[in-house]
Amino acid sequence: MFNIVLVEPEIPHNAGAAGRLALATGSSLHLVKPLGFSLDDKYVKRTGLDYWQDVDLHVWENLADLAKTMEGKGRWLLSTKAGRPHWEAEFAPGDFLIFGKETKGLPEDMVGDAGEDALRIPMMPGGTRSLNLSTAVAIVLFEAVRQQSPDW
């Protein structure tokens, strides 16, 4: 249904949880190197439980390689630096939901260049600076799914 992209993820359980979310929604998981862990890591497998082998997983050497696959398809960059809330996006099947690494997010210039395709998850001012990566994936992915499958 959708394409979840984690750019340079650092924490294995976030990748595992994103894989489980992908499987639960009929989506694909794309990991862009460098990864901060091995895909054989016990934490990735533990979080993904016995589902990990069923995840439609794609591993990319860099963003440039992934960009070729995204040509002509919708792409949404998620960042605390974006101005537009995620619920204003009109998601379509096959869209790429792109998330940055846990410690830095996506590069600021990349978010700026995305314009209206850069989205944020609104949070209370002065609360926390960001959400856990797998939590953010779940929030945005299920809004996208809700728009496509209101009867779920």
* In the chain, where the domains are located: 3-148
**Cα 76 versus chain centre, distance:** 9
pLDDT score at 95: 98
Strand residue runs (E) in 8-124: 28-32, 56-60, 75-78, 84-85, 96-99, 118-120
- Average pLDDT on 86-105 reads 97
- Average pLDDT on 119-124 reads 94
Using the predicted structure, report yes or no on whether residue 149 has a pLDDT greater than 70: yes
Rounded-to-integer distance, Cα 113 and Cα 118, Å:
9
CB 98 within 8 A of CB 7: yes
Rounded-to-integer distance, Cα 31 and Cα 16, Å:
11
CB 77 within 8 A of CB 118: yes
Strand residue runs (E) in the chain: 3-7, 28-32, 56-60, 75-78, 84-85, 96-99, 118-120
In this structure, which CATH number among 3.90.79.10, 3.40.1280.10, 3.40.50.300, 3.90.1720.10 belongs to the domain 3-148?
Answer: 3.40.1280.10
Using the predicted structure, report yes or no on whether residue 63 has a pLDDT greater than 80: yes
Report pTM. 0.93
The region of weakest confidence among 36-40, 71-75, 135-139 is 36-40
Rounded-to-integer distance, Cα 100 and Cα 109, Å:
13
pLDDT score at 38: 84
